[in-house]
Amino acid sequence: MISPFFTHLFPPKFYRDTLKFSKTLYAGAILVALFTTLSVTGLLLMFYYSPDAASSYSSVIFLEESVFGGKFLRALHRMCSHIFLIVIAVHLLRTVLTGVYAGRKRNWKLGYIIFFVIVFEAYTGYLMPMNQLSYWATKTGMELMNTLPFGDFIKNLLMPDDVGGKLTVLRFYTLHVIVLPVFSLTLISAHLYNIRKNGGLVKYADSSDKEDRRKLIGFSLLIGFASILFAIILTFIFPSPLDTAADPSSPPNPAKSAWFLLWIQEVVSWRAVYFNVIMLLIILFYFLPDFRKKYTPDKAVWFSKNDRAVWSTTIALTFTVIVLTIIATFFRGENWELVSFYF
């Protein structure tokens, strides 16, 4: 039942036909709010960050110790990036589980590309603090490239003088603050345009009823502010850690990649060739709508019987990724050996 406040904000029919939680999970509004927050906090961080291998770590120390609110600013940027990755993954998953991918093929492929651009954006940002954690996480991630066809070429393109080198830090910085954000914004704009063009998120936005458009904007802003507030609360609860300065001569044991790539590192630890299998699955999912040309739902339906093979496979793969991430995070000790926990 909708409270009087929300009823005033938007009429029940508007809610039912456009932004019902069970249909959208409000993921779009949340992602736009987080993207905006990341852009603003990232811009402010640029005033203090030095994209130089020799001084990047000290610039982060200066930000946290000498700039009012600097520690919180960096922590909020980090927290929003983590939440953004989780929400965009949930958004992608929701698209498959409700069958929407099959009815909006172009937007599925565009959104799929956006997802991996965002993952790459997060990865390039991982190196910025140039501490032990970020240095070795980035280096480990780059080593995963070697198992791919043309992986060595890609690795040399991104990392011309090793992880801590001057050119590499500058290249990652340029990708993180200019190239990938602009590319992401362009793709996201096209994605939102396609949604409106398909009559999705809200046919009212194209109508002449200004009141409905105002209510749509108001509700979207409400969800956005709630998302930012949630990120701020989590930032206070889980402040951003800052390890010691990067030391290329002192690798941690084990050296682990960024948390969102740990499941891949776990798979590669079994056998490097399995990385190629992962890449093949990623490519196949891009063409998922092309494999389901006969399945054209006219609305979002969770776990449709007509699409059971797709959503069941997706759930199984998602569960596998989560389990592998947990194993790599909590159960891998020195030399990547499995460790036991006794309580």
Question: Domain map of the chain by residue range?
Answer: 13-258
Report yes or no: 166 and 53 within 8 Å, Cβ to Cβ. yes
In the block, tokens 């930012």 appear at 228
Q: Per-residue pLDDT for 178 more than 50?
A: yes
Three-class DSSP category at 90: helix
- pLDDT (tens digit per residue) in 128-149: 998 888 888 888 888 887 777 7
Give the largest Cα separation in the chain, rounded.
65
In sequence order, which residues have a C-beta less than 8 Å from that of residue 151 and are 6 or more positions away?
145
pLDDT of residue 202: 46
The band of 13, judged by pLDDT with boundaries at 50, 70 and 90, is low
In the CATH scheme, what is the code of domain 13-258?
A: 1.20.810.10
Residue 303 has pLDDT above 50, yes or no: yes
Pick the closest to residue 122 from 161, 87, 91, 82 (CA basis): 82
Burial 297-322 (b: 16+ CB within 10 A, else e): beebeeebeebeebbeebeeebeebe
Q: Which residue has the tokens 């801590």?
A: 164
Model confidence at 99: pLDDT above 80: yes
**Amino acid, res. 263:** W
**How far apart are the C-alpha atoms of 235 and 238, rounded to whole Å?**
5
Pick from 20-29, 195-204, 316-325 the range whose average pLDDT is largest.
316-325
* H helix intervals, 127-209: 132-145, 151-158, 166-174, 180-197
Q: Measured between alpha carbons, how far is 45 from 38 in angstroms, rounded to an integer?
A: 10
Nearest to 74 by CA among 12, 143, 125, 133: 125
CB atoms closer than 10 angstroms to residue 50:
16
Q: Write out the two tokens for 307.
A: 């699409």
